[in-house]
Amino acid sequence: MAKATATANANIALVKYWGKRDDALILPQNSSISMSCDGLSTTTTAEFSEKYRSDTIVINDEELKKDEKNILGHIERIRKLAGIQEKAKVVSESNFPVAAGLASSASGLAALTVAAAEAAGLSLHEKELGILARQGSGSASRSICEGFVEWHKGVMPDGSDSFAESIVRKNYWPEFRMIATIVSTEKKKTGSRAGMKQTVETCPFYGGWLRTVEDDLNIIRKGIRSRDFALVGSTAEANCLKMHALMMTTKPAILYWIPETVEVMHAVMAMREQGIEAYFTIDGGPQVKVMCLQKDEREITKRLLRLKGVQKTILCKPGDGAKLVNKHLF
């Protein structure tokens, strides 16, 4: 068996995915649109070999003891698909905080899927890799593709039509920026999986989310294709606030925001009032991502770093999809 290494970028959703219609296959209640973020990446090396007595997973120099994302189950899925029995060694490194609301599971599971599939001798094209990655982590399907990406919810019970594809490639809108602000590096208390399940089961407004999300998808898709920054930014910000409103009205309530999150949100709104084009989006965590254009990135970054609660910022451009690389981690 060969050793293989892949790298994948995190992706930040402009139209969010929140809620599954099938927990086992990770099939979403709604389609979603994201940007693959050059600047937030995970590199993973995988090897299947008879020399390993059991599966070993090392993430950022720490051996996995508590498998919250069922990474071992994903490795088993790939083994089954390839028809092999050998145990695996997997080493993974991310260049940003994990489990803190920066889509680390998306980049991590996408990189793992591409590396492990190659190491297991599978020859899969982008759509098949996306379907496979989705079963490890829903948003990982979007990290398989480059640029601005849509994950189609699909209608088939077996998930064969629930996959991601690029709306446009990364070079289509090179001026678009996403500035990730790090306001906390702590692991979030409520994982996205548990949070979504709670919301679908108990939130009284979930039906309203599903009724309005198609409009958001159509507007963002159109905005990306016409490079209409105000349209994309304002719709993405509203969609994000709508998703967090669902979380807050879930029983028990899920509140990912901390005071520093709100401080950044207010700062972005104030910038807009002063004529600087900036919008925010927030995933399941406290970190705020600020959308802007290249012309304003310096000024906005400077203002964000002046805020007491912002520890650091990471500048992201539209990035590549997941791909194999030659430099192994072990």
Which tokens belong to 186?
Answer: 């702590």
Kindly report which listed range (69-83, 84-98, 133-147) carries the lowest average pLDDT score. 84-98
DSSP assignment string, 7-37: EEEEEEEEE----EEETTTTEESS-EEEEEE
Average pLDDT of the segment spanning 293-304: 98
What pLDDT digit, counting tens, does each position of 250-268 carry? 999 999 999 999 999 999 9
What one-character DSSP code corresponds to residue 113? Answer: H
Domains for the chain: give ranges and CATH numbers. Answer: 3-173 (3.30.230.10), 176-318 (3.30.70.890)
Say if CB 227 and CB 173 are below 8 A apart.
yes
Tally of CB atoms within 10 A around 107: 32
**pLDDT, tens digit, for every residue of 163-192?**
999 999 999 999 999 999 999 988 777 777
- Rounded to whole angstroms, how far apart are CA atoms 88 and 280? 40
What are 176's strand-pairing partners? 293
Instruction: Say how many residues make up the chain.
Output: 330
Q: What is the mean pLDDT of residues 191-215?
A: 93
What was the pLDDT predicted at 295? 98
pLDDT at residue 67, rounded to an integer = 87
Inform me whether the pLDDT recorded for 99 exceeds 70.
no
Cis ω for the linkage preceding 97 (within 30 of 0): no
Q: Is the pTM of this model over 0.85?
A: yes
Band of residue 101 on the pLDDT scale cut at 50, 70, 90: low
- pLDDT tens digits along 120-138: 999 999 999 999 999 999 9
19 alpha-carbon distance from chain centroid = 14
Torsion of the alpha carbons at 40, 16, 235 and 205, rounded to the nearest 10: -150
For 29-103, where are the alpha helices, taking DSSP H only? 71-82
Distances in whole angstroms, Cα of residue 15 to Cα of each of 141, 150, 201, 275: 15, 9, 21, 25
The average pLDDT across 50-60 equals 96
SS3 269: helix
